[in-house]
Structure 1
Amino acid sequence: MDPLDRLRLFAGLVGCRSFAEAGRQMGVPRAQVSRAVQELELALSVRLVHRSTRAMHLTERGEAVAERAATILRHVDALQDVTAPADVPCGELRVAAPRNLGERAIVPILSAFAARYPDVRLRLTLRDRPVRLVEEGFDLAIRVVELEDSELIARRLLRCRVVLCASPGYLRRAGAPQAVADLAEHRCVVDTNYRMGSRWRFRSGATRRAVTVDPVLTCNSPEAVRRWLLDGHGVGFSNTIHIGDDLRAGRLVPVLPDSPVDARASVWAVTPSRRLVSAAVRALMAQLPGAIQARYPYDTTLEPPDPGQILV
């Protein structure tokens, strides 16, 4: 097997932490991924992974090799630009995005991008947990988060509103909270992607309030939180990327609209470094802001319904 193919399959395994999933995402049999890792271990004379029937874990040396492999693959991919004009996108472009946003927005955006730049080989991974760009060999990732400081290069594509809400059915049964303190008596759903956890903070002008809730359901998947809210399991908050359509349609209703959640969320495009940025990455980065904003106009068009209507 070609040494670069081994490195690519190993990098895919690092990202998925599963031989079967790595094979599925890279379009090869599971056995081929396993063979690539075995050949790489033999060539380097080190054990890279601990294997078991249920899980795969990188060894300490495996972690180091994964980081070096990602760097090598980025350099190899960047070399493809040398044989083409500097402003012509070509070669492989690996992109990661959250599943919900990816399926609804990134897939059609990349479809248009692929039609415009047929010499670019797109590799899209949809995954709710954030990918490790350098270690897993991604060129660009889309994130919907309160972005923490990091060494990554980030460009904001869209600001989102974070909205506390519930289904009309839940509010009919439990009553609508009239004050922040009332939330302590309600069933609550928590999205753990927000750092505040179960200590919810709110603001009204210069006034800040907080309440500790006892969540009945907790998850790190925004889509799961959305589903639980729609099913009437309680009160929770999410951003307009995930629940904008539901708010506009009345399937979810804002709660305590005069005391907004003290949280921020934005859609970011993140790249590992300013160095060796390919023409394909530059072209996609130029296209993303306008395309994302055109698909998510909620922050300028969404008007909270009259709170008095929610108990009808």
Structure 2
Amino acid sequence: MDLLKSIQVFEQVAKQQSFSRAAEALNLVPSAVSRQINELEKWLDVRLINRTTRSLSLTEDGKTYLLKLSDIREQVTQLRHPKNYQHEIKGLIKLTAPIMIGQYMLPSALAEFKSLHPDVDLSIALMNRKIELVEEGIDLAIRVGHLSDSTMVARNMGKMEFKTVASPAYLAKHGTPNTLKDLKNFNCLINTVVANAKRWSYTLDGKNTIVKVSGSLEVNDSQSLKAFALASQGIAQLPNFYVNQALESGELVEVLSEYAPSPLPINLLYPSQRLLSPTVKALVDYLVNHLSQYKSNW
């Protein structure tokens, strides 16, 4: 068995989630892909992939071995081409991020990175669901919130701060909340992108406090939520960078500022057991340094 070839085939199957697509990417016939996977499973004495007639997925062992085997292949590549490999910044990087981060921060940063490294191809998936990096072939992920996955390396890029806002017209008509308990008397605009969307976080007496809210309008997009707040439809809780300009112009007014919501960390993640290629490492270092300029506005 050609171990390195089998590892390469396994990586493609995991990435493509299909034997036939992996075969096409590797310029092989599907039977050859299947044979390589069977030989690798036999050699490791573990099942790597659950197969059905309609789909396939990595087993828990498969997820673990994908990281280990990818690391082995990466190290062998470096041994074969040590000088060229260390300085070569080229190839495809797959990156995922929440929609609000992607829309606000990433375009200018990634455009500049591309101008510095024109041989790098970027595939960017903006989505609000949490995805499995290994199973879906993602190199890097930007995530907002406290982390619980110990299999990932996290590089902190700052914290996202929030403000509670409403339009002057809405407050003139309905009054202004002065305490957290007052929120129950107001129409709160619900951002369904956020986990526990109807439970808003605040700081009270130095401690994190959760307030249950409700309202007649729910939306899964932060920009739309801001638009509804500007249209005097209710009170919204949004990241600073979405509302700072509207607050400066007077289109929105901050309320309950003395109970400022607890900020959430923003992290750049990659699998802990994966050896970063020079290309991916270059993007990680660049983003961590470049996006620090936004920290004062988060």
Q: TM-score, normalised by structure 1?
A: 0.69
Residues 281 and 241 of structure 1, relative CA distance in 2, 3 Å threshold: farther
What residue identity is the alignment partner of 2:164? Answer: L
SS of the residue aligned with 1:136? coil
- Residue 215 of structure 1 corresponds to 215
Residues 207 and 125 of structure 1, relative CA distance in 2, 3 Å threshold: closer
What residue identity is the alignment partner of 2:137? Answer: G
User: What do the CA deviations read for 1:135-158 (whole angstroms, capped 9, x no partner)?
Assistant: 111111112334344421111102
| Greater shift in the superposed pair: 74-83 or 132-141 | 74-83
Q: Please, which of 11, 15, 26 is the counterpart of residue 11 of structure 1? A: 15
| Equivalent runs, 1:1-312 vs 2, <5 Å | 8=12, 11=15, 39=30, 43=34, 47-48=51-52, 50=54, 58=55, 61-64=56-59, 67=63, 71=67, 83=81, 84-192=84-192, 194-206=194-206, 210-261=210-261, 263-295=262-294, 297-298=296-297
| Structure 1 residue 81 displacement after superposition | 5.4
SS of the residue aligned with 1:248? helix
What residue identity is the alignment partner of 1:281? Answer: V
Q: How far apart are the structure 2 equivalents of 1:105 and 1:270?
A: 16
User: What do the CA deviations read for 1:224-247 (whole angstroms, capped 9, x no partner)?
Assistant: 433333333211212224433333
**Contact 1:90 1:121 (C-alpha < 8 Å) held by counterparts:** yes
Q: How far apart are the structure 1 equivalents of 2:228 and 2:17?
A: 32
User: What do the CA deviations read for 1:236-286 (whole angstroms, capped 9, x no partner)?
Assistant: 21222443333334333211111222x322321111125311111221121
Q: How far apart are the structure 1 equivalents of 2:260 and 2:77?
A: 49
What residue identity is the alignment partner of 2:292? Answer: Q
Q: TM-score, normalised by structure 2?
A: 0.72
Residues 118 and 69 of structure 1, relative CA distance in 2, 3 Å threshold: farther
Number of aligned residues: 271
Residues 175 and 111 of structure 1, relative CA distance in 2, 3 Å threshold: same
Q: How far apart are the structure 2 equivalents of 1:280 and 1:122?
A: 11
Q: How far apart are the structure 1 equivalents of 2:142 and 2:297?
A: 19
Q: How far apart are the structure 2 equivalents of 1:278 and 1:92?
A: 11
What residue identity is the alignment partner of 1:288? Answer: L
What residue identity is the alignment partner of 1:182? Answer: D
Q: How far apart are the structure 1 equivalents of 2:251 and 2:32?
A: 53
When the two chains are superposed, the root-mean-square deviation of aligned CA atoms in Å is 3.8
Q: How far apart are the structure 2 equivalents of 1:254 and 1:95?
A: 34
What residue identity is the alignment partner of 1:202? Answer: Y
| Structure 1 residue 48 displacement after superposition | 4.6
User: What do the CA deviations read for 1:139-184 (whole angstroms, capped 9, x no partner)?
Assistant: 1111233434442111110212121112233223322112211110
| Structure 1 residue 194 displacement after superposition | 4.6
| Structure 1 residue 13 displacement after superposition | 6.3
Structure showing greater radius of gyration is: 2
Q: How far apart are the structure 1 equivalents of 2:218 and 2:30?
A: 42
| Structure 1 residue 40 displacement after superposition | 7.9
**Contact 1:6 1:40 (C-alpha < 8 Å) held by counterparts:** no
**Contact 1:203 1:209 (C-alpha < 8 Å) held by counterparts:** yes
| Structure 1 residue 92 displacement after superposition | 2.2
Q: How far apart are the structure 2 equivalents of 1:232 and 1:76?
A: 57
What residue identity is the alignment partner of 1:272? Answer: P
Q: How far apart are the structure 1 equivalents of 2:159 and 2:15?
A: 32
- Residue 306 of structure 1 corresponds to none
Identity between Structure 1 and Structure 2 (%): 23
SS of the residue aligned with 2:104? helix
Q: How far apart are the structure 1 equivalents of 2:260 and 2:179?
A: 12
**Contact 1:70 1:137 (C-alpha < 8 Å) held by counterparts:** no
SS of the residue aligned with 1:110? helix
What residue identity is the alignment partner of 2:59? Answer: A
User: What do the CA deviations read for 1:91-125 (whole angstroms, capped 9, x no partner)?
Assistant: 32111122332233212212211222233232222
Q: How far apart are the structure 2 equivalents of 1:48 and 1:40?
A: 16
Residues 295 and 183 of structure 1, relative CA distance in 2, 3 Å threshold: same
